[in-house]
């Protein structure tokens, strides 16, 4: 076979695997949006079967042979070579997992998830703990299977963020946590922002229409995607021409839906901007979890909680909700949507205190996987860390260690990508506004296209060509520097609260 034919075989194989994975994504989307109550059990097995087939096809010896042969060829185009290199990285990792282990892990995740549901109901971590304990044991085994340097948790971090290590995350946090703590102290020393106007009655249908309007304004392409309702908002992609997001509506909480719409749109814009020619191949995929999160956070916070954006949209919002926003000025609105307070629940936290929540989970995960603590110690450690970093007292498990679903999914090493996403977002936003002069002026005029264009070119269109850090360096001229995030917060909140 000549190189072109060989590459064609590789591409066809990868695209079939993508078809199976994307079909599975449709099943998952449907499960969260339209599945009838009793359809869950058969759906579960259909999803498992599809996962099994796509996994088997990928780890097949033939995939490895194709990749090896292609790597030996000297005449691949640059894009092609990069695809093959990335696929080989994925392949090398995937084949390490014994089928038997994958099955055991998947079964234990299922048990842990159901134990978590039951524990939430009873508000008792003890109901969850035995199954979570077994899951942590398996995750430790997984770290051994994958191999690691220095700390087993590094193996799990690497699963969500290629090349990510404890050293990197520790440094990233330690660069900003003292400054963040000081900022929170200063903000909470002045009178709190009044955000009570957000908690009036905002009728369901009107909120929905507002959200749809906003999404469209942000250039979510409804010919290549849609929005639906689900219990927890999420975004999911079946290919760049079919990217779906969901939201939820709380009639007593205007913020809940609005910023979830903007957040998920950020994810979706990324997926809709991936290169079409590389469907099923690494260059047609998003770079990483943290870069994905950088896109959602950038739109949610750096754009969507910022003054320029609301200069344009607040008057429109007032027209849509004249009664609820009667007498509220732009400044008051802006302060209200940026209220900072120490709190118990991560998903309700503001953009300043949020990262303490993530840091606490990261600290616990490190120790759980490293063996410093066991799952039995979680509630006590959780309380202690919340007291220390956020100064709050955890009243019960539901508002404490039972609040996140992630661990029950076996996702250890995932939380840090939430913070990394915010840090990348601040750095990207600064680079964009520095390099294109009128981006913020345009946002003030209701036009986010120049910003989107900058991201399309430097982030979305690049697929997985680079790792997160390399992509950041290429786009901003520097590696990840979390101090830029702190600078962004210091500047914004000093002005906002007249500190």
**Residues known to be catalytic:** 264
- Residue 68 or 216 having the CB closest to a second copy: 216
What phi and psi values does residue 3 have, to the nearest 5 degrees? Answer: -60, -40
For a second copy, the binding residues (CB under 8 A) are 15-16, 19-20, 22-24, 26-27, 30, 34-39, 41-43, 45-46, 48-50, 53, 221-226, 228, 238-239, 241-242, 279
If you search the block for the tokens 């078809």, which residue do you land on? 19
8-state DSSP, 151: -
Whether 269 and 452 have beta carbons less than 8 Å apart is answered as: yes
What phi and psi values does residue 228 have, to the nearest 5 degrees? Answer: -135, 180
Report d(CA 494, CA 433) in Å as an integer: 20
- Residue 52 or 470 having the CB closest to a second copy: 52
Token output for 98:
């014994």
Whether 135 and 407 have beta carbons less than 8 Å apart is answered as: yes
- Residue 50 or 452 having the CB closest to a second copy: 50
Token output for 492:
């914004």
Tell me the HSE value of 317 on the side-chain side, using a 13 A CA sphere.
24
Whether 221 and 270 have beta carbons less than 8 Å apart is answered as: no
- Residue 226 or 430 having the CB closest to a second copy: 226
Smallest distance, a second copy to C-beta of residue 242, A: 3
Smallest distance, a second copy to C-beta of residue 172, A: 37
Residues in CB range of 123: below 8 A, 6 or more apart: 396, 397, 398, 402
- Residue 45 or 323 having the CB closest to a second copy: 45
Smallest distance, a second copy to C-beta of residue 169, A: 36
Report d(CA 206, CA 203) in Å as an integer: 6
User: Long-range contacts for 72-75 (Cβ within 8 Å, ≥24 apart)?
Assistant: 73/3, 73/6, 75/3
First CA to last CA distance, the chain = 69
- Residue 26 or 436 having the CB closest to a second copy: 26
Whether 442 and 450 have beta carbons less than 8 Å apart is answered as: yes
């Amino acid at each position: 076979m000549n190189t072109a034919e060989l590459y064609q075989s590789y591409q066809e194989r990868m695209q079939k695997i993508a078809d199976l994975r994307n079909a599975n994504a449709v099943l998952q989307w449907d499960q969260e949006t339209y599945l009838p109550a009793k359809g869950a059990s058969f759906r579960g097995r259909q999803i498992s079967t599809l996962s099994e087939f796509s996994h088997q096809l990928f780890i097949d010896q033939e995939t490895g042979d194709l990749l090896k042969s292609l790597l030996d060829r000297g005449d691949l185009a640059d894009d092609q070579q990069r695809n093959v290199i990335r696929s080989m990285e994925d392949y090398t990792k995937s084949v390490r997992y014994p089928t038997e282990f994958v099955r055991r892990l998947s079964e234990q995740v299922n048990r842990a998830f159901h134990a978590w549901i039951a524990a939430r109901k009873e508000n008792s971590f003890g109901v969850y703990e035995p199954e979570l304990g077994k899951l942590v044991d398996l995750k430790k085994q997984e770290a051994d299977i994958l191999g690691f340097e220095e700390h087993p948790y590094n193996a799990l971090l690497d699963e969500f963020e290629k090349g990510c290590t404890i050293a990197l995350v520790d440094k990233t946090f330690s660069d900003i946590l003292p400054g963040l703590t000081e900022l929170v102290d200063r903000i909470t020393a002045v009178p709190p922002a009044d955000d009570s106007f957000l908690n009036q009655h905002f009728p369901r249908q009107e909120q929905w229409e507002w959200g749809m309007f906003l999404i469209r304004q942000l250039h979510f392409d409804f010919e290549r995607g849609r929005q639906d309702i689900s219990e927890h908002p999420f975004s999911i992609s079946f290919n760049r021409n079919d990217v779906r997001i969901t939201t939820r509506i709380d009639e007593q909480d205007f913020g809940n839906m609005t910023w979830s719409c903007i957040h998920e749109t950020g994810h979706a814009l990324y997926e809709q901007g991936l290169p079409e020619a590389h469907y099923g191949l690494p260059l047609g995929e998003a770079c990483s979890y943290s870069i994905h999160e950088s896109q959602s956070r950038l739109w949610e916070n750096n754009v969507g909680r910022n003054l320029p954006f609301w200069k344009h949209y607040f008057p429109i919002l007032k027209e849509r909700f004249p009664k609820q926003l009667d007498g509220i000025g732009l400044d008051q609105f802006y302060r209200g949507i940026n209220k900072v307070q120490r709190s118990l629940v991560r998903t309700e936290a503001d953009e300043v205190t949020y990262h303490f929540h993530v840091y606490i989970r990261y600290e616990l995960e490190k120790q759980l996987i490293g063996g410093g603590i066991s799952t039995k110690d979680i509630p006590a450690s959780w309380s202690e860390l919340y007291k220390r970093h956020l100064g709050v007292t955890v009243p019960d498990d539901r508002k404490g260690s039972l609040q996140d679903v992630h661990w029950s999914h076996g996702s250890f090493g995932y939380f840090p990508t939430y913070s990394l996403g915010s840090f990348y977002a601040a750095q990207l936003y600064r680079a964009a506004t520095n390099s294109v002069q009128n981006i913020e002026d345009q946002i003030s005029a209701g036009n986010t296209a120049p910003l989107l264009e900058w991201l399309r070119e430097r982030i979305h269109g690049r697929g997985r060509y680079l790792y997160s850090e390399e992509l950041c360096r290429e786009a901003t001229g520097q590696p990840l520097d979390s101090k830029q995030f702190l600078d962004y917060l210091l500047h914004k909140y000093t002005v906002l609260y007249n500190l």
